């Protein structure tokens, strides 16, 4: 069996939701690209998310891992820049736990930057007509937890792996009262698939997610 190049993860519904667009979208991408992509659904549980992720990494041996999660209230697809070493939940996870200001990895670094091509991915999504934006915070719930865990695994055990995280909006059916933004599962899946393309492109800027420069008018 040949390993897929890309592992995508999505989360189970949480906080009373009936669906989680992150899982529905990554499943759709994996079904459309079966040779390159595998998708795994991860329970929204602090205690097990990172070990579930590592099990999937060991099982599928991907080159790239992109974890995906739902961000309440965001109108765009937002690849995340940085994961921070703290769990600070304002609601319970699916195991009934609500950690407050607990390090994810005691003694670990305060943060990790993604090593995926962040801005190239956003530019490609926008070129396809999708609302997209770099985000500077993945929050402090299970999403940030698995993102930090992924980057810590890369830093300590899987040095060749590249990894990152995308936060996505609600699906339209999750905001039927019309009071918040949403994006269709198809569009979310399209955005995730575009980030996969960007990561797999020959010459993709993989080691360094940013291309430092200074614009000056002086």
* Residues in contact with a second copy by the rule CB under 8 A: 74-78, 81-82, 84, 86, 88, 92, 95-103, 109-113, 119, 126, 129-133, 136-137, 139-140, 171-173, 175-184, 186-187, 209-218
Residue 171: CB minimum distance to a second copy, A: 8
**What span, in angstroms and rounded, lies between the C-alpha atoms of 50 and 173?**
29
Residue 30: CB minimum distance to a second copy, A: 22
**What span, in angstroms and rounded, lies between the C-alpha atoms of 154 and 145?**
14
- CB-wise, 60 or 108, nearer to a second copy? 108
What lies within 8 Å, CB to CB, of 32 at 6+ separation is: 189, 193
Let me know if 73 is exposed, middle or buried by CB neighbors in 10 A (0-12, 13-18, 19+): exposed
Q: Which residues are catalytic?
A: 80, 143, 167
β-bridge mates for residue 84, sequence order: 111
β-bridge mates for residue 78, sequence order: 167
- CB-wise, 12 or 72, nearer to a second copy? 72
β-bridge mates for residue 102, sequence order: 87
Q: Residue 71 in contact with residue 165, Cβ under 8 Å?
A: no
Residue 20: CB minimum distance to a second copy, A: 15
Residue 85: CB minimum distance to a second copy, A: 8
- CB-wise, 34 or 159, nearer to a second copy? 159
- CB-wise, 36 or 121, nearer to a second copy? 121
């Amino acid at each position: 069996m040949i390993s897929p190049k890309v592992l995508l993860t999505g989360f189970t519904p949480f906080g009373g939701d009936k669906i989680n667009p992150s899982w529905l979208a990554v499943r759709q991408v994996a079904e459309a690209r079966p040779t390159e992509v595998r998708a795994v659904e991860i329970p929204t549980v602090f205690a097990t998310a990172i070990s579930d992720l590592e099990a999937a990494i060991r099982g599928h041996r991907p080159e790239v891992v992109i974890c995906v999660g739902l961000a309440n209230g965001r109108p765009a697809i937002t690849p995340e820049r940085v994961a921070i070493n703290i769990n600070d939940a304002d609601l319970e996870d699916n195991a009934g736990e609500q950690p407050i200001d607990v390090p994810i990895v005691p003694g670990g670094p305060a943060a990790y930057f993604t090593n995926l091509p962040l801005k190239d991915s956003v530019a490609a999504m926008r070129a396809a007509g999708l609302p997209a934006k770099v985000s500077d915070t993945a929050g402090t719930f299970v999403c940030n937890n698995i993102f930090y865990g992924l980057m810590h695994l890369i830093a300590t055990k899987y040095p060749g792996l590249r990894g990152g995280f995308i936060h996505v909006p609600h699906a339209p059916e999750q905001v039927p009262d019309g009071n918040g933004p949403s994006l269709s599962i198809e569009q979310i899946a399209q955005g995730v698939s575009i980030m996969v393309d960007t990561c797999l492109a020959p010459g993709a800027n993989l080691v360094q997610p940013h291309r430092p420069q200074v614009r000056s008018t002086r």
